[in-house]
Amino acid sequence: MRFLVVKSKHIKFAILVIISAVILGINFGGGSAASVFFGYAPRKVPIYSVETEEKKVAITFDSAWGADKTLKILETLKEFNVNATFFLVGFWVEEYPEMVKAINDAGIEIGTHSNTHADFVKLSESEMKLELNTSTNLIKNITGKEVELFRAPYGSYNNSVISTAESLNLKTIQWDVDTLDWKGLSGVEICNRVINKVKNGSIILCHNNSEHILDALPLMLDRLQNMGYTVTSVGDLIIKDNYYVDNLGIQRKN
């Protein structure tokens, strides 16, 4: 009889554990009940791509060093009638204000890529805010437009980086298709990387002054359009309101 009582207690305890696990696994406002119960914050993730049924992708250009290929990039975008997003570093903006104006005048979206291309994970919150405020003000002084997008240098981020950007009304944008154009790949190799990895809602990472970007860009745009994709800016691709970003960085509608 004593054996049955002990076994019954064990069963009740097991049921209690299972129920607790289920409850703590429930999501509340994007985080789990466990994070509320145990007092830890859920992991924040930038937007790597967007969940969409549309054949639509965004192409981006990080600009930190050099500008001699930028005007030709703008000409190619115009030739294919596509939009894009340039993420500009503050010291690049200071060195090439006429290029910033040309990008803006072409109707191309501009985001910040920080002011000095520092690793934000190594910065304090006040240092991050200085980087972001300085760079966005430099851009706004030329374009007259508010900056809404941020790409962290080196793709380096943590919760503090994303939260700080959010406090300044900046969405942190990553990528899910890396051209690796900075590695000296040929135009064909860059194009093939994109075509093999792209999907609906992808964000493509390029650099404005990589060695073969001018060879790669028309090949990419031609192939993407022949595959039925609309190539656009990040701001046109992402969901503006009522969304969440899952742990893979996919932005989804609530």
Residues belonging to the active site:
62, 207
CA distance 208 to 46: 22
Q: Which residue has the tokens 């894009």?
A: 84
Residues 6+ positions from 3 with CB-CB distance below 8 Å: none
225 touches 84 (CB < 8 A): no
DSSP E strands in the chain: the ranges are 27-28, 31-32, 49-50, 56-63, 85-88, 109-112, 149-150, 171-172, 177-178, 203-207, 230-232, 243-245, 250-253
